[in-house]
């Protein structure tokens, strides 16, 4: 991997070693020997080949994880387990530069942003080590002098984690950290479009010395490797982040084996700016919220609602920002917007923009420099004069595209913000404290930021309502409500009455 360094500004021709599956502590080929090609979104040339795991590989990985759960990992002292979890964080920190480069190479995300995502990944492990050690405890109830009833929180066993390509390393670790810290063992099926840092996570965890079988990675496609993981009877739970339709399929497919599922799904989040808002800050937050991560963000503010009295001024400033956003090579530290993940996605996003024009929007875009045209670049795009009922305001486009909708009254904007199938995030800008709270509470969203962009606090629940998900990640929600379950132990401390069925009087 020596070719991949931060000095590389030109991603052309960068090749990385081929990638294998990580099963039972070993890097192995797929049983079938199959591989698939991994493509660089900046050049549309191959980066490397990836072993393509299928059902037989999932079976092996689950068997290894099951054996580790009943062996070394399951029997380990808490303090020792936490030493391993913290060591994973340390290794990530040591390798942050290389991981950030791999992520940018694989996804087209700008290197300045992938660095922060990798730092957050290390924090995910440290956070859960601390959280589990300090707060994973049960309750005890005493019933007179007869009983003490207490609960302990037990890990589930083998858990399957299925993740998307948009912020892969950070989102994978956001699941792996609580899963391992609470004592489960893991089979990770990362997105087929972004395998590089999932492989790197296997290398990191291997380097941290975690016992074999505790963590496994099976690369491959959703319909084969993913579906096999979902169907496997020895997998106790599936935590999924991805598209709403895929989430629904996974819930159906997990029903036969009665699995617990957690669903972090799509979004079409509103950002509402009232006329009394701090306009400068609202503009910064709006631009960041839609154009960071190349617009491929579940929490992106893809619908901007502007009060009619500030709309023209706000839009003028937005146009200027859009024309200044630096589009280019993801490896260039000054790049703000890189290429989309793959050609098909580029096609999909471009079709939505064409549709918006047909539906009557005025389309305003930045300019993609000639020298990067080989990449899947969609420029930052504003869809002006949009109305909330348009298809481009209802569907998750998942690109750097924001619809701008005018409103007049509070009631009207709440109704429009909620007239969508999703309910992941929301953003409200106003300096009227009462209105701020009123609107924040009225918008259908699992997470609502008032006078702020998407700033994270790992202790709070992360997730959405409506078609944006079921369940929450983060804080004690992941710990108590998903990756463990309570076990009750009833202890008699006195001689309470026991009915004497069948006993001769």
Ligand X SMILES: O=C(O)/C=C/C=C(\O)C(=O)O
Ligand Y SMILES: NC(=O)C1=CN([C@@H]2O[C@H](COP(=O)(O)OP(=O)(O)OC[C@H]3O[C@@H](n4cnc5c(N)ncnc54)[C@H](O)[C@@H]3O)[C@@H](O)[C@H]2O)C=CC1
Active-site annotation, residues: 264
**Binding of residue 298 to ligand X (CB under 6 A):** yes
333: which 2 tokens?
Answer: 């530290």
Total number of residues that touch ligand X (CB under 6 A): 9
To ligand X, the closest distance from the beta carbon of 454 in angstroms equals 6
**Binding of residue 269 to ligand X (CB under 6 A):** no
Answer with the entry of ligand X, ligand Y, none that 396 interacts with (C-beta below 5 to 8 A by kind). Answer: ligand Y
**Nearest 5°: CA angle at 60, between 205 and 154?**
65
Binders of ligand Y among residues 203 to 222 (CB under 6 A) are 221-222
To ligand Y, the closest distance from the beta carbon of 185 in angstroms equals 19
* Phi, then psi, of 146 in degrees rounded to 5: -105, -45
321: which 2 tokens?
Answer: 């920002």
Binders of ligand X among residues 438 to 457 (CB under 6 A) are 454, 456
Are the CB atoms for 160 and 187 separated by under 8 Å?
A: yes
Tell which one of 189, 259, 303, 307 touches ligand Y (CB under 6 A). 189
**Binding of residue 376 to ligand X (CB under 6 A):** no
**Binding of residue 161 to ligand Y (CB under 6 A):** no
398: which 2 tokens?
Answer: 């998942």
| 397 closest CA partner among 385, 413, 380 | 380
Answer with the entry of ligand X, ligand Y, none that 111 interacts with (C-beta below 5 to 8 A by kind). Answer: none
To ligand X, the closest distance from the beta carbon of 360 in angstroms equals 29
Cα distance between residue 178 and residue 226, in whole Å: 21
Q: Which is nearer to ligand Y, 223 or 351 (CB)?
A: 223
Are the CB atoms for 296 and 117 separated by under 8 Å?
A: no
* Phi, then psi, of 394 in degrees rounded to 5: -105, -35
Are the CB atoms for 51 and 22 separated by under 8 Å?
A: no
Binders of ligand X among residues 137 to 166 (CB under 6 A) are 166
Q: Which is nearer to ligand Y, 180 or 300 (CB)?
A: 300
Q: Which is nearer to ligand Y, 126 or 259 (CB)?
A: 259
Q: Encode 242-291 in three state secondary structure.
A: CCHHHHHHHHHHHCCCCCEEEEECCCCCEEEECCCCCHHHHHHHHHHHHH
Are the CB atoms for 268 and 303 separated by under 8 Å?
A: yes
To ligand X, the closest distance from the beta carbon of 168 in angstroms equals 11
Query: What residue ranges bind ligand X (CB under 6 A)?
Result: 166-167, 174, 297-299, 454, 456, 462
Query: What residue ranges bind ligand Y (CB under 6 A)?
Result: 162-166, 171, 189-192, 221-223, 226-227, 230, 241-243, 246, 249-250, 264-267, 298, 396, 398, 424, 464, 469
């Amino acid at each position: 991997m020596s070719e991949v360094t931060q000095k590389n500004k030109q991603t052309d021709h960068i090749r990385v070693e081929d990638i294998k599956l990580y099963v039972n502590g070993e890097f192995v080929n797929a049983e079938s020997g199959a591989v698939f090609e991994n493509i660089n979104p900046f050049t549309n040339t191959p980066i490397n080949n990836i072993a393509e795991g299928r059902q037989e590989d999932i079976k092996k990985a689950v068997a290894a994880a099951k054996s580790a759960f009943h062996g070394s990992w399951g029997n380990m002292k808490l303090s020792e387990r936490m030493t391993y979890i913290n060591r994973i964080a340390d290794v990530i920190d040591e390798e942050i530069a290389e991981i950030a480069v791999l992520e940018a190479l694989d996804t087209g995300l700008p290197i300045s942003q992938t660095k922060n995502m990798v730092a957050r990944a290390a924090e995910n492990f440290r956070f859960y080590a601390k959280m589990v050690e300090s707060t994973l405890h049960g309750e005890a109830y005493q019933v007179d002098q007869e009983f003490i009833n207490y609960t302990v929180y037990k890990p589930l066993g083998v858990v399957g984690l299925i993740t998307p390509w948009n912020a892969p390393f950070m989102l994978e670790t956001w699941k792996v950290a609580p899963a391992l810290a609470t004592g489960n063992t893991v089979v990770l099926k990362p997105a087929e479009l972004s395998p590089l840092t999932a492989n790197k996570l296997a290398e990191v965890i291997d380097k941290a010395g975690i016992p074999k079988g505790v963590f496994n990675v099976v690369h491959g496609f959703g319909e084969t490797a993913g579906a096999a993981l979902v169907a496997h009877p020895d997998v106790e739970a599936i935590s999924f982040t991805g598209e709403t339709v895929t989430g629904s399929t996974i819930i159906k497919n997990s029903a036969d084996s009665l699995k617990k599922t957690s669903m972090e799904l799509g979004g079409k989040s509103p950002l509402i700016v009232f006329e009394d808002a701090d306009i400068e800050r609202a503009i910064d937050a709006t631009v960041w919220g839609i154009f960071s991560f190349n617009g491929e963000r579940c929490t992106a503010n893809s619908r901007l609602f502007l009060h009619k009295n500030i709309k023209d001024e706000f839009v003028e400033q937005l146009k200027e920002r859009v024309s200044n956003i630096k589009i280019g090579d993801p490896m260039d530290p000054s790049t703000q917007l890189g290429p989309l993940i793959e050609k098909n996605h580029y096609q999909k996003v471009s079709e939505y923009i064409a549709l918006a024009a047909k539906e009557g929007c005025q389309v305003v875009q930045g300019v993609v420099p000639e020298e990067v045209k080989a990449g899947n670049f969609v420029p930052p795009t504003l869809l002006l004069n949009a109305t909330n009922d348009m298809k481009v305001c209802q569907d998750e486009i998942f690109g750097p595209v924001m619809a701008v909708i005018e409103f007049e009254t509070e009631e009207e904007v709440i109704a429009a913000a909620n007239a969508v199938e999703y309910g992941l995030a929301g953003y409200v800008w106003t300096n009227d404290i009462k209105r701020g709270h009123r609107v924040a509470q009225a918008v259908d969203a699992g997470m609502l930021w008032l006078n702020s962009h998407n700033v994270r606090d790992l202790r709070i629940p992360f997730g959405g309502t409506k078609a944006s998900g079921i369940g929450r990640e983060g804080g004690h929600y992941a710990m108590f409500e998903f990756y463990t379950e309570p076990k009750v132990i009833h202890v008699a401390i006195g001689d309470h009455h026991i009915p004497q069925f069948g006993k001769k009087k």
